[in-house]
Amino acid sequence: MNIALGVSGGVAAYKAAELVRRLQQEKLDVQVVMTRSAKEFIAPLTFAALTGQKVITEMFGGEAGEPANVESAIEHIAVAQRIDLLVITPATANVLAKLARGIADDFLTTLYLATTAPVVVAPAMNVNMWEHPATQENLEILRARGVRVVDPDEGYLACGMTGAGRLASVAAIAQVVCEVLGIRHDFDGETVLVTAGPTCEDLDPVRFLTNRSSGKMGYALADAAQRRGARVILVSGPTALTPPTGVECVQVRTAEEMHRAVLERAPECTVVIKAAAVADFRPVVPHAKKIKRGAGRFTLELEPTPDILADLARVKGDRILVGFAAETDHVAEHAREKLAAKRADLIVANDVTQHGAGFDQDTNVVSLFARDGRELSLPRLSKFDVANRVLDEILHLRHGSRQAPAVHGAPPSDR
């Protein structure tokens, strides 16, 4: 998720650097936008080093006096469209007044008008400025528009006075950001094992049997679980994906290798989510040499691969076991059969022939079938949102109460 962090000119601007680090711990990408006054208190280089991104300080060009170019002239629109949240800290009385009255005379205030993303402001100023009727009126205007205001703390101020106006703590600001974005830590203490991707079953040294799974659904589940506080083990078949940051990834190739890896790591886990598209069959005898083209037909004898979900059920204990069912017909009937046969707690089923669902898609349309008889059909969602809805259902099974809506706005993903 992408955050624009606006920094305006106040002595508390240095605390914005600490906020960058705190937001990065939530796996948020931070783009810093500074006013000219902010540069008097902290150098843009500090934020560039922390974020690994350029710091925007001027509406046109990089610095005052530089020639404008087409990219810089429309950059505020590009930033406005890609961010999921705009946070301004510290927000001075001057900036609050501009926001309230719609004045757009620099990049930050123009960005505010151009974005439809939620906005959080954390004011910091002299106590008399904070209590002034004009400032309070501007704050009421912003609150009425839906802007979240993180009220300042009381205490000793840089000007030597005592009272309200000191920037709220970094922890308090970060908490509001997480609330607005829907980020939760409700999987703290859980260890979640997720399988993802296809398996490859060798026919000969140059050919193998596989399927169309890209692994993105499983990777989205791993990403969502670790964002919500879980320790995550991702057992992945061959994919072109990069494992999410902070996730332990075990690379496998065949169904036998995935079976072995999952059964070895399952004792560590409180939740196992089998999202991989494991091959159901493999050649009985892989050929040691390349099979040459012949004049007639070629018969291939196959045998079943290990049933990972069924074997997990035998050592299930009190862990939550989730399976996926990619179907082409009678989806609900097959999902209920799988739920009972595999002794799973939850089956996530979808019709892979449906538009916007299944392999090679950025969205999915799934139905959830739970051990307690509940069945829930979801609309078409990004794979990341599907992942969070699955995690919500896991918590429902664990605690017996439905959780709040899941995180939204992350990049779409696919199985």
Q: Which residues are catalytic?
A: 159
Q: Which region, left, alpha or beta, applies to residue 197 given φ > 0 means left and ψ of -120 to 50 means alpha?
A: left
Contact in structure between 84 and 117 (CB atoms under 8 Å): yes
> In b/e form, how buried is each residue of 247-286, taking b as 16+ CB within 10 angstroms?
bebbebbbbebbbebbeebbeebbbbbbbbbbbeebbeee
Strand boundaries in 137-209, DSSP class E: 148-149, 153-156, 162-166, 191-196, 201-204, 207-209
Q: Which amino acid is at 326?
A: A
Nearest to 88 by CA among 171, 17, 5, 206: 5
Contact in structure between 312 and 339 (CB atoms under 8 Å): no
Contact in structure between 305 and 278 (CB atoms under 8 Å): yes
- 15-24 and 44-51 are packed helices; what angle lies between their axes, rounded to 10 degrees? 10
- Residue 141, H or E segment: helix 133-144
Nearest to 86 by CA among 1, 21, 10: 1
- Residue 282, H or E segment: strand 281-283
Tokens of 17: 């650097």
**Peptide bond preceding 67 in cis form (omega within 30 of 0):** no
